[in-house]
A and B are shown apart, each in its own frame.
Chain A
Amino acid sequence: AQSVTQLGSHVSVSEGALVLLRCNYSSSVPPYLFWYVQYPNQGLQLLLKYTSAATLVKGINGFEAEFKKSETSFHLTKPSAHMSDAAEYFCAVSAAGGGADGLTFGKGTHLIIQP
């Protein structure tokens, strides 16, 4: 069984500042980890994924995340926030090598960008 905890339901940063969204996971098997973004009234868009290759994963729109097994974390970062980054962000986990049980999502973090 897997689970995901996203710390902070809302995160507010100034435009140009560092973005850090936290995700911790629990998995009884090696996990695959994902970050998705959801804009208002839209579906989810994949930002990046970790599938047991490089622990530092680069995604779209300047985002990246680092898999830390010892900390069971997969935090999302972006060096400089842009107004267009304002959205809901979801961390998700699935069982490596499996996947029939779909993705398990966290509750999401609403990212607010202050001008």
Chain B
Amino acid sequence: DAGVTQSPTHLIKTRGQHVTLRCSPISGHKSVSWYQQVLGQGPQFIFQYYEKEERGRGNFPDRFSARQFPNYSSELNVNALLLGDSALYLCASSLSLAGTYEQYFGPGTRLTVT
């Protein structure tokens, strides 16, 4: 079975622009979570979606939004990009709400904001 896939692998954006990152979970997994990993730090939780509803949100500004589709894939949107948004964005999927169930991570999308 394929693992968690993310697209694109890398992208470069300019301050003030908008970006959309995509994630496809492992087949059968209904929960998708998004994390931001700044260079040299551990991942920070942004969102968790389960059955197409937002179930958890980390301490991120409203410029960050996400959604989950009927096929359980997910998009992360970031508006009005700042230099500080430069990071590796990780998507993780799990069978149900994270905690009891392992989260399986994708390879990430490296976002550079100039």
Q: How far is the CA of A41 from the CA of B108 in the complex (A)?
A: 8
A46 and B4 alpha carbons, distance in the complex (Å):
13
CA distance A52 to B90 in the complex (A): 27
Please determine whether A43 and B106 come into contact, CB atoms closer than 8 angstroms: yes
Q: A32 and B103: CB pair below 8 A?
A: no
Q: Which residues on B sit within 8 Å (CB–CB) of A105? A: 35, 42-44
Q: Are A95 and B102 in contact (CB under 8 A)?
A: no
User: Complex formed: what's the CA distance from A53 to B68 in Å?
Assistant: 33
Most buried by A among B35, B102, B103, B108: B103
Shortest distance from the beta carbon of B80 to any chain A beta carbon, whole Å: 24
Q: Which of A41, A45, A107 contacts B105 (CB 8 A)?
A: A45
Shortest distance from the beta carbon of A101 to any chain B beta carbon, whole Å: 4
Q: Which 5 A-B pairs have the closest CB atoms?
A: A99-B99, A105-B42, A102-B45, A100-B56, A43-B105
